[in-house]
Amino acid sequence: MSLYRSTKMSLNTASSSQQSNKLFYTFLAVWFVVGLIQNYFTEVNGEEAYYWLFSQFLDWGYLDHPPMVGVVTAPGYWLMQNPLGLRLGMLLINICTMLVVWKTTEKRDTTLLIWIFAGMLAVHAGAFMVKTDVPLMLGVALFYYFYKQYLKEDNLKTVFLLALSIALILMSKHHGILVVFFTVLSNVKLLTKKTFWMAVGFTVLLMLPHTYWQYMNEFATIKFHLYNRIDMGFSWNSIAYYIGIQPLVFGPLIGVSLLSASYANKKKSDFNRALKFTIVGVLIFFLISTFKVEFHKHWTSVLSVPFMLLGHEFIKDHQKWRKVLIRLSIATVILLIPARIYLMHDFFPKKWTEGWDVIHNWDSWAEEVQELSGGLPIMFNNHYERSSRYSYLTKDIVHCYNTFDYRETHHDLLPLEENLQGKTVFQINRFRDTVNYQDYDTEIGKGIHYRTIENFRSYRNVWIEIEDAEKHYEFKPGEKVDLKLKLTNKYQRTIDFADAGNRKVILNVHYLKGLRPVGKEKLIVLTGTMAEVEEVEYGVRLTIPELEGNFDIRFSIQVGEIEPPINSRKVKVTID
């Protein structure tokens, strides 16, 4: 009799497992088909076009991102040069992430997990948008899957796969290292294990190509994140926004349920401890960062996988929680269906979308820009998304010219600006300027502010540093300050300032409040030539403007009426 019951239970378990597998794979198949349709008919936005640019210049790194976003998008676009091809890799990565999370839950309560996926906006977006967070989420999912295996058996295969998942995280977004850090912090005994250090060694080896790229580019990404963040200062509004947005990041509607269930999950294990340490650590880390810099809500999406795993484990054993979450997920899907259709087709009444950002018919905008330029090479000021969108739509890769009051983009590491030297250029400004630019209104309502520049010249790659610079300067209004500046020619050629023609080449100092210019002083006129890698020192005297407060100063080399580019990092000063 006991044998009969045992056999019957085994058969029931096998049948349940088969049904669970069938349900999940059916869900993934439907998700894939819907994703194919969505991706084909949804226009590529500016951020996605910027990542498309990465795929056109495949490398082991980019100025503001690691390489995975370019690696993931390139193969699909090689196959199909349309929005579906560009996003195909992201859709597949998105599906793989759900598959890994499902396996990490050991396929328990598959129905609940499907509704968790369906209720998370981040999971939906990963299926039809090119985002750096998509491969990051796969890396995090793989990391926790293999970490769970590692805790059971730390064999060589598991150690290497764990290292591979860590490398994938770091190759996707650098702040993903927080997941690894807080996992180790949750289980410091790992530091005494030989296999842990083997994983570290494998990770280092896997990261060597990216590290070498950083070295060859003078650690451009590290400098970008150190010197290009805007010091927003402490604000209670920023703190309130950060705290209030978190449930929406992991929802929009099921976020509170997932956060509450993760907190309520009291099951103790090294694995759960790692998930909880990561959640608390990452949330505190970015909370502290909001004391100074602007917070981007997608930063904490790295916690999507820990919240899914902890929330699922708790909710599956609590039927009331389960019913509430499923109902919220159904409501989310109902809300997202018209939104996703709208991304594909503009069917909302115009009065509903008045004031919204334009997401349709950008191909007509690109045609108007192309016609207006008259065939001249095009350059956009301070608008990497707009320049990338134009490049994607026309397949004519154009430059984004970043000025002293903006920030660098990956365009600055490409030879695009060098290719414009000495040419007549069609320049498009980001903002309206009726003094220096003409205006043109496009069919989609996006104004074009343009002018033509003959003999375009820029000395963007002449880098300026203060000799024996201090970390922070204190000045008084009206004070005369003597500084010694070192100019280094980082072009792979000799430059001649006389190439600017009858326009003066001026070395300026700018005073910035955030990115808002509040003062400028012309220091010296540059003449003569500079050989490749040559360094030249100049003594300059600054007259401190009548300002009070904390500011940044930045130096630039300006050619005539052309806006000054970025020729130095920002230096903090206090004027009092």
Q: What is the mean pLDDT of residues 322-340?
A: 97
Please say if the pLDDT value at position 3 is more than 70.
Answer: no
Q: What SS3 string covers 39-96?
A: HHHCCCCHHHHHHHHHHHCCCCCCCCCCCHHHHHHHHHHHHCCCHHHHHHHHHHHHHH
- Which of 93-102, 294-303, 522-531 is least confident? 294-303
Element (H, E) at 518: strand 516-525
Q: Counting every residue, how long is the chain?
A: 576
Compare 179 and 435 and report the one with higher pLDDT.
179
Burial of residue 492 (CB within 10 Å: 0-12, 13-18, 19+) is exposed
Element (H, E) at 277: helix 270-289
Please say if the pLDDT value at position 6 is more than 80.
Answer: no
Please say if the pLDDT value at position 301 is more than 70.
Answer: yes
Query: Where does the pLDDT of residue 232 fall: very low under 50, low under 70, confident under 90, or very high at 90 and above?
Result: low
- pLDDT at position 355 is 82
Q: How far is CA 247 from CA 125, 192, 258, in A?
A: 16, 37, 8
Please say if the pLDDT value at position 72 is more than 50.
Answer: yes
**Quick check: helix, strand or coil at residue 427?**
strand
Query: Where does the pLDDT of residue 290 fall: very low under 50, low under 70, confident under 90, or very high at 90 and above?
Result: confident
Query: Where does the pLDDT of residue 236 fall: very low under 50, low under 70, confident under 90, or very high at 90 and above?
Result: confident
Please say if the pLDDT value at position 243 is more than 80.
Answer: yes
Q: What is the mean pLDDT of residues 543-553?
A: 95
DSSP single-letter state for residue 567: -
* Among the listed residues 193, 218, 195, 281, the one whose alpha carbon sits nearest the alpha carbon of residue 412: 218
Highest mean pLDDT: which range of 5-9, 15-19, 95-99, 354-358? 95-99
- Which of 348-362, 416-430, 514-528 is least confident? 348-362
Query: Where does the pLDDT of residue 291 fall: very low under 50, low under 70, confident under 90, or very high at 90 and above?
Result: confident
Query: Where does the pLDDT of residue 295 fall: very low under 50, low under 70, confident under 90, or very high at 90 and above?
Result: confident
Name the phi and psi angles at 463, rounded to 5. -90, 140
- Ordered strands of the 549-559 beta sheet: 472-475, 571-575, 549-559, 505-513, 516-525
Percent of the chain with pLDDT over 90: 85
**pTM reported for the whole predicted model:** 0.93
Q: What is the mean pLDDT of residues 221-250?
A: 81
- pLDDT at position 12 is 54
For the chain, the average pLDDT equals: 94
Percent of the chain with pLDDT over 70: 97
- pLDDT at position 4 is 44
Query: Where does the pLDDT of residue 230 fall: very low under 50, low under 70, confident under 90, or very high at 90 and above?
Result: low
- Which of 169-183, 288-302, 347-361, 519-533 is least confident? 288-302
DSSP single-letter state for residue 175: G
What one-letter code names the amino acid at 560?
A: G
Q: What is the mean pLDDT of residues 214-223?
A: 92
- Which of 222-231, 280-289, 555-564 is least confident? 222-231
Token reading at 459: 């000395």
- pLDDT at position 11 is 43
> Which residues are paired to 222 by β-bridges?
none
Q: What is the mean pLDDT of residues 412-423?
A: 96
